[in-house]
């Protein structure tokens, strides 16, 4: 049987399915002895924290396919894999719904405050809450979507259904995006116009090197002073020193960061002490369904090992 090494967590149902077809070995990516397991491995299944680079590939001379149980491929050196003839398969649409729901949950939490009643709540406190916890309707706001890929387009669709004005920015040309989103009358704008015109900016760009610290001091200079920034994409997209400066200058602004660079963020991360910054532990894709969808990358891993063409291949 072909040997497959799994280096991070994987849904057990999917792992069992793979185990019926291959020899499955679990070995944590940062545990000693991984090199010995890789020496005779035919395939590898990873998630976020296994760095697939020349150093790892040197230890796995027989590997034919590596499955990424997830969407982004930031931890992969794709040219190195291609040079060695190693197929890379992944699950590009596995967590779209989960991330979209999460982003709108964060938006609603921010604009629709609500405090649960406790036993014995007095009439005075009850009516005080009704006076102070007055929210803002999302239909009165403009949502800027930076990155109109699978997740960005789904967010645009949901936002439009809720009556929210939508601005979009992407490297994809406007005509192509409009064909992909015929039902959403969004405004296609450049970066500066998106930042300046949005009450909410949600980030969904990829991790290509040129996007590193895409949101920097120059970008934040265009933001509204009471804007809400949400990053559930990649931590490297934001210059956190510049973000901290902007938040200090604009106490009515808020940044919600679900992703970080590195992860976890350092215990002395300066944004921990910032009242209008909220740091979350990378939860956007953490639903049972999304995690299982990502783990089903094993189907494409098995397909390659069996000599078939995978459904979702990056290399």
Residues 41 and 110 in one domain: no
Beta strand residue intervals within 211-294, DSSP E: 228-231, 254-257, 277-279
Q: Tell me the residue range of the domain where 74 lies.
A: 3-94+289-305
What is the model's pLDDT at position 199? 98
Burial 28-37 (b: 16+ CB within 10 A, else e): ebeeeebeeb
Distance CA 122, CA 124 (A): 5
Whether 102 and 236 map to the same domain: the answer is yes
pLDDT in tens, 268-283: 999 999 999 999 999 9
Give the total number of structural domains in the chain. Answer: 2
Do the domain assignments include residue 315?
no
What is residue 241's predicted lDDT score, i.e. its pLDDT?
96
Measured CA to CA in angstroms, residue 204 lies from 151, 195, 234, 302, 307 at distances of 7, 14, 8, 30, 34
Interhelix angle 150-161/96-111, rounded to 10 degrees, is: 50
CATH number of 12's domain: 3.40.50.720
Residues 191 and 217 in one domain: yes
Per-residue confidence (pLDDT) for residue 8, from 0 to 100: 97
| 312 domain residue, yes or no | no
Residues 261 and 147 in one domain: yes
Phi, psi for residue 288 in degrees, rounded to 5: -55, -45
How is residue 270 annotated by DSSP? Answer: G
Q: Are 152 and 166 part of one and the same domain? A: yes
Instruction: Please tell me whether residues 63 and 192 are part of one structural domain.
Output: no
* 227: its two tokens: 């804007």
Q: Residues 100, 215: one domain?
A: yes
Residue 314 lies in a domain: no
Q: Would you state the pLDDT for residue 253?
A: 98
pLDDT of residue 41: 98
Q: What is the pLDDT of residue 191?
A: 98
Active site residues: 234, 263, 282
For residue 313, the model assigns a pLDDT of 97
Residue 145 CB-half CA count within 13 A: 30
What residue ranges of the chain have pLDDT lower than 70? Answer: none
Residues 69 and 118 in one domain: no
Instruction: Let me know whether 168 and 22 are in one domain.
Output: no
Considering the domain boundaries, does residue 284 fall inside one?
no
Give the SS3 label for residue 5. Answer: strand
39 with 136, same domain: the answer is no
Average pLDDT, the chain: 97
Is 108 part of any domain? yes
Residues 263, 136, single domain; the answer is yes
């Amino acid at each position: 049987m072909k040997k497959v090494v799994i280096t991070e967590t994987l849904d057990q149902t999917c792992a069992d399915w793979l185990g019926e077809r291959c020899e499955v070995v679990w070995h944590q990516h940062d545990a000693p002895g991984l090199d010995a397991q890789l020496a005779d491995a035919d395939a590898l299944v990873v998630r976020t924290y296994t760095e697939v680079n020349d150093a790892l590939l040197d230890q796995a001379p027989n590997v034919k396919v590596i499955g990424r149980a997830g969407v982004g491929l930031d931890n992969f050196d794709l040219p190195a894999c291609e040079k060695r003839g190693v197929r890379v398969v992944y699950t590009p649409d596995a967590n779209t719904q989960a991330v979209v729901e999460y982003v709108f949950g964060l938006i609603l939490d921010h604009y629709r405050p609500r405090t649960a009643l406790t036993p014995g709540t007095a009439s005075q406190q009850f009516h005080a809450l009704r006076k102070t916890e007055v929210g803002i309707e999302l239909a009165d706001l403009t949502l800027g979507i930076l990155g109109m890929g699978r997740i960005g387009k789904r967010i645009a669709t949901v936002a439009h259904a809720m009556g929210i004005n939508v601005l979009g920015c992407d490297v994809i040309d406007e005509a192509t995006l409009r064909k992909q989103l015929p039902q959403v009358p969004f405004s296609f704008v450049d970066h500066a116009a998106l930042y300046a015109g949005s009450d909410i900016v949600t980030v969904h760009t990829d991790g290509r090197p040129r996007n590193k610290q895409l949101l920097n001091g120059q970008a934040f200079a265009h933001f509204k002073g009471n804007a809400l920034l949400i990053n559930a994409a990649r931590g490297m997209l934001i210059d956190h020193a510049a973000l901290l400066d902007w938040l200090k200058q604009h106490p009515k602004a808020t940044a919600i960061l679900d992703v970080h660079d590195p992860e976890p963020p350092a215990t002395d991360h300066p944004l921990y002490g910032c009242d209008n910054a909220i740091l979350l532990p990378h939860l956007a894709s953490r639903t049972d369904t999304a995690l299982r969808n990502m783990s089903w990358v094993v189907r494409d891993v098995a397909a390659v090992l069996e000599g078939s063409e995978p459904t979702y291949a990056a290399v």
